């Protein structure tokens, strides 16, 4: 079977090639959008990532060119017009769980780095500066963390921080009964009580701009906010204002609402035209990584195995285990 892969990096190609079997994989580094849609014409199946844009127009166009299956090599699907795909008879599979530990551990890494300022200490020592001035952190043990979204990743994160002796508050419309150590609360109360707030919920109509001026006002002054979910969970301009006022004392982001124009690219020799992210990067208490949380070898292997298994099921006419809506 021939499959077109979009938004591919070297690690995608290396991993998928190890598990490809008889499939013929065509790799494109470009993201799938209105300008690149012609690259996907004639393929029965395409494989896309978080920043590929599959709106109704693109899906209908490709369905008319023979597209039957969209394979998302990620868990989220907010970048796909699900209704348009159903109307066009295009099926969708995804990777609902690849390595929740990878994302949970990265969220913890953001917390530890922001708190203990290890990135600043590293740069200082490299320059021969061994001063400890302005590197004071705080003990995580005994602090209160609010976990918003306790699916596979959020629950893994909750267990990880609980093991460090932190008090865990949680918010989810579907509480996890196995998180017996966590106290589930309404969103407002969680935000009022948390020293650290970590976002692990999907992006949908009810969670878009969950963190905005109104909800930021509920938080403690100097709160640490971590987002490894989706960029549009936070209203970036409101967050910048909260940084300026001191309401947010630390901000760790692995996602950004306009990241499709920036992330997964080397822009070190260009002038970045996005004034919003430039303003974020100007704060000394902000740490941004470029959608890196998933990037472990274990996660890459599981993404490849699950995606290629779905393609094999489709080719064999079998039920699609990971079809959207079946999990």
Model pTM score: 0.91
Non-local CB neighbours of 122 within 8 Å, separated by 6+ positions: none
Active site residues: 230, 259, 291
The angle formed by the CA atoms of residues 5, 80 and 71, to the nearest 5 degrees, is: 35
DSSP string covering 64-87: TTT--EEEESSS--TTB-HHHHHH
The per-residue pLDDT for range 221-253, each reduced to its tens digit, is 999 999 999 999 999 999 999 999 999 999 999
Residue 181: the pLDDT is 98
Residue 45: the pLDDT is 97
HSE at residue 303, side-chain half, CA atoms within 13 A, is: 27
Write the Ramachandran bin of 19: left for phi over 0, alpha for psi from -120 to 50, otherwise beta: alpha
Contact 27, 13 (CB under 8 A): yes
Residue 98: the pLDDT is 86
Q: Name the nearest CA neighbour of 194 among 154, 262, 140.
A: 140
HSE at residue 202, side-chain half, CA atoms within 13 A, is: 14
Residue 246: the pLDDT is 98
Q: Where are the beta strands (DSSP E) in the chain?
A: 2-5, 24-27, 45-48, 69-72, 91-93, 144-148, 167-171, 183-184, 196-199, 223-227, 248-253, 286-288
- Report d(CA 88, CA 65) in Å as an integer: 11
Domains assigned to the chain: 2-94+297-315 (3.40.50.720), 100-288 (3.40.50.720)
Residue 109: the pLDDT is 98
- Report d(CA 176, CA 178) in Å as an integer: 5
Residue 84: the pLDDT is 96
Exposed, middle or buried, 173 (CB in 10 Å: 0-12/13-18/19+)? exposed
Residue 326: the pLDDT is 58
Strand partners, 145: 168, 196
- Given a cut of 50, the residues of the chain with pLDDT beneath it are 327
């Amino acid at each position: 079977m021939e499959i077109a892969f979009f938004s591919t990096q070297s690690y995608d190609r290396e991993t998928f090639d190890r598990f490809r079997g008889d499939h013929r994989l065509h790799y494109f580094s470009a993201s799938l959008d209105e300008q690149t849609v012609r690259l996907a014409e004639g393929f029965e199946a395409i494989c896309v990532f978080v920043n590929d844009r599959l709106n109704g127009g693109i899906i209908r166009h490709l369905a008319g060119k023979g597209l039957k299956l969209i394979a998302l090599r990620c868990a989220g699907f907010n970048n796909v017009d699900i209704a348009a795909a159903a109307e066009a008879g295009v099926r969708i599979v995804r990777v609902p769980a690849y390595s929740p530990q990878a994302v949970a551990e990265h969220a913890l890494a953001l917390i530890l780095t922001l708190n203990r300022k290890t990135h600043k200490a590293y740069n200082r020592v490299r320059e021969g500066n061994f001063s400890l001035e302005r590197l004071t952190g705080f003990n995580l043990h005994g602090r209160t963390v609010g976990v918003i979204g306790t699916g596979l990743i959020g629950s893994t994160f909750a267990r990880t921080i609980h093991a460090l002796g932190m008090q865990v508050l949680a918010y989810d419309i579907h509480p996890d009964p196995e998180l017996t150590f966590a106290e589930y609360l309404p969103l407002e109360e969680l935000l009022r009580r948390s020293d650290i707030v970590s976002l692990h919920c999907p992006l949908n109509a009810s969670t878009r701009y969950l963190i905005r001026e109104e909800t930021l006002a509920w938080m403690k002054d100097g709160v640490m906010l971590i987002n490894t979910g989706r960029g549009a969970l936070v209203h970036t301009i409101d967050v910048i204002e909260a940084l300026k006022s001191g309401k947010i004392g630390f901000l760790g982001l692995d996602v950004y609402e306009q990241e499709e124009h920036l992330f997964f690219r080397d822009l070190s020799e260009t002038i970045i035209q996005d004034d919003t992210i430039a303003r974020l990067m100007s704060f000394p208490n902000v740490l941004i990584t470029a959608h890196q949380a998933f990037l472990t070898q274990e996660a890459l292997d599981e993404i490849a195995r699950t995606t290629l298994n779905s393609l094999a099921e489709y080719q064999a006419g079998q039920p699609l285990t990971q079809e959207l809506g079946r999990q």
